[in-house]
């Protein structure tokens, strides 16, 4: 699957991108919400995994943009801070919210398992 990972913490961005690449996925990264929106205007992704609080465009900025796309990628938050509740994030279209610090294996497996249900990934 093709994944866009967005986080303003370089170490977390590298850790997540390495794990998804190790599992055979194509990964692009962005360090801000505005950079992510630019990337999303040019490329399609199966999954967008975003931090919530970032400079230059937060995770809600990205989620709102993702909600305008067709086809729409799956959207997940992986964050330690949010300006809204998890329920509000889910109502806006996020499929899950992983709280930092999170178990990286659990995060990756949960995202991978969700794709066959919607037909994006062959089993």
The whole domain housing 92 covers 2-117
CA count, 13 A, side-chain hemisphere, 62: 36
Residue 122 lies in a domain: no
- What pLDDT shows up at residue 101? 87
Alpha-carbon gap, residue 79 to 98, rounded angstroms: 6
Question: Which pLDDT band holds residue 116 (cuts at 50, 70, 90)?
Answer: low
**What element of type H or E holds 31?**
none
Number of domains present in the structure of the chain = 1
- What pLDDT shows up at residue 104? 94
Q: What is the pLDDT of residues 70-105, one digit of tens each?
A: 999 999 999 887 777 889 999 999 999 999 889 999
Return the bridge partners of 49, or none.
Answer: 5, 76
Residue 123 lies in a domain: no
- What pLDDT shows up at residue 107? 95
Return the bridge partners of 97, or none.
Answer: 77
Residue 23 lies in a domain: yes
CATH number of the domain that residue 93 is part of: 3.40.50.2300
Residue 104 burial (10 A CB sphere; 0-12, 13-18, 19+): middle
Residue 10 lies in a domain: yes
**C-alpha angle 31/87/75, rounded to 5°?**
40
């Amino acid at each position: 699957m093709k994944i866009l990972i967005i986080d303003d913490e370089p170490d977390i961005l590298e850790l997540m991108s390495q794990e998804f690449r190790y599992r055979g996925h194509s990964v692009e990264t962005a360090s801000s919400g505005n950079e992510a929106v630019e990337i999303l205007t040019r490329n399609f992704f199966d999954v967008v995994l975003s931090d919530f609080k970032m400079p230059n465009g937060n995770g809600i900025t990205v989620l709102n943009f993702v909600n305008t796309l067709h086809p729409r990628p799956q959207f997940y938050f992986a964050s330690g801070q949010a300006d809204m509740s998890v329920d509000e994030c889910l109502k806006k279209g996020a499929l899950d919210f992983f709280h930092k610090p999170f178990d990286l294996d659990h995060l990756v497996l949960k995202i991978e398992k969700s794709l066959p249900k919607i037909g994006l990934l062959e089993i």
